[in-house]
Structure 1
Amino acid sequence: MKKKTSYFMTALVVALSLVLAACSGSSEETSGSSTDKGSGESEKPKFISILTGGTGGTYYPLGGAFANIISQETGIETNAETSGASAENMTTLKDGNAEVAFSQTDIAAYAAEGKLMFEGTKIDNVQAIGTLYPETIQIVTTEKSGIKSVEDLKGKKVSVGAPGSGTNPNAEQILEMYGMTFADIEKKDLSFDESTAGIQDGTIDAAFVTAGTPTGAVEGLSATEDIVIVPIEQDKIDALIKKYPYYIQDEVAKGTYGLEEAVPTVAVQAMLVVRDDLSEDVVYDITKAIFENLNQVTHAKAKLIKAENALNGVGIEVHPGAKKYFDEIGVKAAE
């Protein structure tokens, strides 16, 4: 009898132990997350950051406006943060220290491919939300230089942007379309202000400038010189876009810098990118909030941001949440 009682008590203890362990596991599973569960497996973060650029640029004020819209429309507290812009933003997203960021389309593509400034540090956890507005490649010179075409740059002193900048590969890729390399020019690595000062004092002949138009440094030069923006021929534009799909066709408008006619060229674009581990539902909500509330953005560049153009020249994979929104409104990338 004593033996039967002992067996019964042992079995009871084991059963109670299993019940307590199950309860403990259930509690841990339901109390460890700092996010709010939505439908299915979707998780809605309580807070996200948008990486922008310096306070004097365009990314920062736009990022502040986007942050306010996202906060209001989605309930996710969103903050715009200053940064070193495109390349730094991509690295910060890779490290998981922010969720959304501004970048140039070409810089995002270099990051995804592990090329140029990202050689050996390929970034594979970032996808696109969409493009915003063009940052135009301008080949700047003056009437007195005699330079009228890209071929005329051969043997000339030409600035291709500051070291490590996105302008440098822009210049290299455009020259490539003309069968040229940096060996065909006297390459100078100068900032935009240094470039226009060099053109003015005659120490350089021309400069590649990648920026929204009108660009302040070039406007300053136009106050004392007759500006020439060197055109890029249509067949070269087509070939460039085919090989490097983050470019789009663009022009420097008539009247800019005193130009008598519009000048054909290409542009990369400012874009929004996002970490790929944000859920489809969250990125859908963010994309919808921004593109359907642009009337709340007072910055002049907002007039150039259009949902129907947001998939043109993206250059990297689009996040499924953003794609869902653009599919819903019938937006596809240009052929």
Structure 2
Amino acid sequence: MLLPEASFCDENTYLTIGSGDITGLYYLTGGAISHVVNSRSKETGLRLNVQSTPGSIYNIDNVISGAIELGIVQSDRLYQAVNSTQKWPNNANQKLRAVFGIHAEAVTVIASEMSGITNMDQLKGKRVNLGHSDSGQRQNAIHALENQGIDYNNDLKAEDYVDYKVPELIHSNQLDAAFITGGHPTDFFNAICSGQTRVRFISIMNVGPILKKYPYYIETSIPVSLYSSQRNYTDVKTFGVKSILMTSEHVSERAVYIITKEVFSKIKQFKKLHPVYVNLSPRNMIEGLTAPIHSGAL
């Protein structure tokens, strides 16, 4: 697509990106995208604002309602919204659009050493955080547990704390384990691994049935070399999703074009903003999208 370099419009346009918890990678990613785009606001007339939110479900709902224009979401939640499943049973969501993909996110299970948990089966009877009800990771946790034959309603003490509370709760022995869907490495996982309580990552094995049943999941692993203080000695097997910047078809083609152009043309600069972005390229950022791509991003 060839659009002129002229200003976005006669007056500045402000768009909001819904992200995630302020301690998480979604908030940092929203800030990274805003930083790159806003560096040329005088030329483009477009300025982005990043908003901390509860997560993917909130972001999708608020893009649908028009309360925000953009959101960073998990690929599975976007797939469900576009295909009118799970929490989105109507067809209005067919107006949702992908802008580009970002980093891969591993469904991560982390447990305190004192809990004695070394595998998924040992989560039974334990205090386990599945994630906030408006987060995409809660459904990932439920899928992982169901694949293991674990009923989260009856077989464990399921909690729904927001992510930022998890490190303190684990270190104060108020939680035995937690599910977190996220990229690696992050300060969040560093905070859990470097506290007074020793922790270990728990592998999620035999994920073939999950990948077959849910087309938006991918097989992945967590390199143990990323965190020096945890108690694992081999890389941790799991599955995951992809984070996607999404919007609505109602957001202008010109605005989406500017965002895409600025990030792609400054990809080397963008990749330096966090280690999780190191393998990004314009080519792989348009792969694995779970909603139709916005015309401004083509």
Q: TM-score, normalised by structure 2?
A: 0.77
Among residues 98, 112, 115, which one is paired with 1:145 in the alignment? Answer: 115
Give, in angstroms, the shift of residue 121 of structure 1.
Answer: 8.7
The aligned runs of 1:1-335 (5 Å cut-off) are 46=9, 47=13, 49-53=15-19, 57-68=27-38, 71=41, 76-83=44-51, 84=53, 86-96=56-66, 99-118=69-88, 123-182=93-152, 183-222=154-193, 223-233=195-205, 235-236=206-207, 238-255=208-225, 256=227, 257-258=229-230, 259-277=232-250, 283=256, 286-297=259-270, 298-300=272-274, 301-322=276-297, 324=298
Unaligned runs of 5+ in 2: none
Q: 1:285 to 1:215 in 2, by over 3 A?
A: closer
How much does 1:224 deviate?
A: 2.1
CA distance in 1, matches of 2:30, 2:255: 22
CA distance 1:277–1:135, shift in 2 (3 Å) = same
| 3-state secondary structure, aligned to 2:168 | helix
Task: Report if aligned partners of 2:128, 2:176 keep a CA contact under 8 Å in 1.
Answer: yes
Cα drift, residue 283 of structure 1: 4.8
C-alpha distance in 2, partners of 1:284/1:79?
13
Query: Residues of 2 paired with 1:52 and 1:70: CA distance?
Result: 21
Larger deviation: 172-181 or 108-117?
Answer: 108-117
Letter in 2 for 1:191: V
Q: How many residues align?
A: 278
Assess, with a 3 A threshold, how the Cα gap between structure 1 residues 305 and 77 changes in structure 2: closer, same or farther: farther
Unaligned runs of 5+ in 1: 1-37, 325-335
The percentage of aligned residue pairs carrying the same residue is: 23
CA distance in 2, matches of 1:312, 1:151: 34
Q: Is the 8 A contact 1:248 1:313 kept in 2?
A: no
Structure number with greater CO (CA < 8 Å, separation at least 6) is 2
1:58 Cα deviation (Å)?
A: 0.7
CA contact (8 A) 2:18 2:70 kept: no
1:98-147 deviation digits (Å, cap 9, x = unpaired): 54432232332343244555456952311112210123321011333332
Q: 1 CA distance for matches of 2:35 and 2:107?
A: 26
Tell me the TM-score normalised to structure 1 length. 0.69
Deviation, structure 1 residue 161: 1.5
**Preserved contact between residue 136 and residue 266 of structure 1 (Cα < 8 Å):** yes
Cα RMSD of the aligned pairs, angstroms, is 3.2
